[in-house]
Amino acid sequence: MKYLHNIGVYFLMIKDMFRKPTKWSVMRTLILKDIDDLIINSLGIVAFISFFVGGVVAIQTSLNISNPLIPKYLVGFATRQSIILEFAPTFISIIMAGKVGSFITSSIGTMRVTEQIDALEVMGINALNYLVFPKFIALSLYPFIISIAMFLGVLGGLAACVYGGYGTFEDYIQGIQTDFIPFHIVYAFIKTLVFAILLATIPSFYGYYMKGGALEVGKASTTSFVWTSVVIILANYFLTSLLLG
């Protein structure tokens, strides 16, 4: 029953997030701050992980192609498919659940512990709109991060393949271009938008409704990371079945 109660409270939170909006001059500042905290500050770790994971995928694919009848361009093809379909949208989102989700939960949870949220409500401000809505809007730019992850993942595969001696530049480029289906990009960005909503709202839920003191802030951050990751994986399964099945 506790899980059903939390699910109900979660959807009520989303509804109340759009009620009684904060005036635009204040909201604009909050949105720009959250874009800096959640999007811009995440570019470095996303770029680093994407580039080297793309290289690892290319190397492992090349090492597992021992049959001379298998064309060499398969390395580029497999890297492209792995990065675009799963790694960039899904696994980067799980990494972001740890980085961004924990930040959101701890920042809102700290405001709850220090009674700043109570002060906002006393002043007649819709605390959910003031705290959660800017993060919701900021993470609408999340597909921008995923597009960078896709590009750098494929580029990392190219660098590892060519400079590691696992294949030629021409073979890798041919593999990237072989049997390319544009809908796979659309599918990846549909997933990304859904994951962005989850990344903005689930950590906010655990931060906003937490009870206790400073110790519980850390526990809430851990719980939000676990449940955000679980819901992202479940959503990934259902979206894949729906869009590609």
- As a whole number of angstroms, the distance between CA 96 and CA 38 comes to 9
- As a whole number of angstroms, the distance between CA 8 and CA 179 comes to 44
User: Given this model, what pLDDT does residue 214 score?
Assistant: 76
| Class of residue 19 by CB neighbours under 10 A (exposed 0-12, middle 13-18, buried 19+) | exposed
| Class of residue 160 by CB neighbours under 10 A (exposed 0-12, middle 13-18, buried 19+) | buried
Q: How far is CA 200 from the centre of its chain?
A: 9
User: Given this model, what pLDDT does residue 91 score?
Assistant: 92
Total residues found in the chain within this entry: 245
The overall average pLDDT reported for the chain is 90
- What letter does residue 99 receive in the DSSP assignment? I
- As a whole number of angstroms, the distance between CA 138 and CA 64 comes to 41
User: Given this model, what pLDDT does residue 118 score?
Assistant: 85
Ordered DSSP codes for 169-180: HHHHHHHHHTT-
With a CB cutoff of 8 Å and minimum separation 6, the contacts of 125 are: 22
pLDDT 10s digits, 95-104? 999 999 999 9
What parts of the chain have a pLDDT lower than 70?
Answer: 1
Torsion, Cα of 94, 181, 40, 35 (10° steps): -90
User: Given this model, what pLDDT does residue 183 score?
Assistant: 92
pLDDT 10s digits, 13-45? 999 889 888 888 889 999 999 999 999 999 999
- As a whole number of angstroms, the distance between CA 65 and CA 106 comes to 46
Which CA distances in Å does 111 have to 22, 39, 228? Answer: 18, 22, 21
